[in-house]
A and B are shown apart, each in its own frame.
Chain A
Amino acid sequence: IAGITQAPTSQILAAGRRMTLRCTQDMRHNAMYWYRQDLGLGLRLIHYSNTAGTTGKGEVPDGYSVSRANTDDFPLTLASAVPSQTSVYFCASSPLPRGQASTEAFFGQGTRLTVV
């Protein structure tokens, strides 16, 4: 079982370029999330999706967009990258609550993005 796959593993990107980080899960989870992690700031939620066809903004959504065309894929796009978007990006997925029972989330291994 692959779980969650993120691609690329790392990337150096010129400022102003467009970039899409890919995230695919094979667990048929409804909910998916994108986080960025910066030294000293911990993991911050960028965007999330509770089901295919819906998305929501997290704590730091500016400069990023997402789409959820199907259950498995949740790509994150930087329309015009800036150096402040240099970070490690993690994708996660989770089933929605089963009745009133909570569920665990699964994380990818991350994409290290450097914008120069």
Chain B
Amino acid sequence: DAKTTQPNSMESNEEEPVHLPCNHSTISGTDYIHWYRQLPSQGPEYVIHGLTSNVNNRMASLAIAEDRKSSTLILHRATLRDAAVYYCILRDVSGGGSNYKLTFGKGTLLTVNP
């Protein structure tokens, strides 16, 4: 499975933008970039995913480098509720999903200061 590298922790202030980086230098052409987050004492929840183009949804934006070897999750205005561990994961869609696992790394612990 292709691996991702994220900083262990990051800190932000409330109502400021947050840019969470992820490196995935061995990404393959059929790997989608997924982001999940895990709030304290909860199961992980989906945030966003993309392949090549930048993506936006109600929760966040995903900026993908042109060579796809890195990406950045952008929270436009952090709130206290955004404090969580954020995971960057690659999902391989080739073979009809025969290798469609979701392999988690350590993620980035985001602290949001009031």
Contacts and interface: CB of A to CB of B under 8 A. Distances in A.
Nearest to B98: A50
A101 interface: yes
A104 B100 contact: no
Contact of B100 (A44, A58, A96, A110): A96
Nearest to B107: A42
Contacts of A84: none
Interface residues of A, number: 27
A59 B105 CA distance: 12
A90 interface: yes
Interface residues of B, number: 25
Contacts of A110: 42-43
B76 interface: no
Contacts of A50: 97-98, 100
Secondary structure of the A side of the interface?
strand
A108 B105 contact: no
Given A35-B104, A50-B97, A96-B96, A102 B51 contact: yes
B97 A107 contact: no
B100 A45 contact: no
Given A50-B98, A96-B96, A102-B91, A45 B103 contact: yes
Among A44, A104, A109, find the residue whose CB has the most chain B CB atoms closer than 10 A.
A104
7 contacts: A44-B104, A50-B98, A50-B100, A92-B43, A96-B100, A102-B34, A107-B45
Interface of B: 30, 32, 34, 36, 42-46, 49, 51, 87, 91, 93, 96-98, 100-107
Interface of A: 30-31, 33, 35, 42-45, 48, 50, 58-59, 90, 92, 94, 96-97, 100-102, 104-110
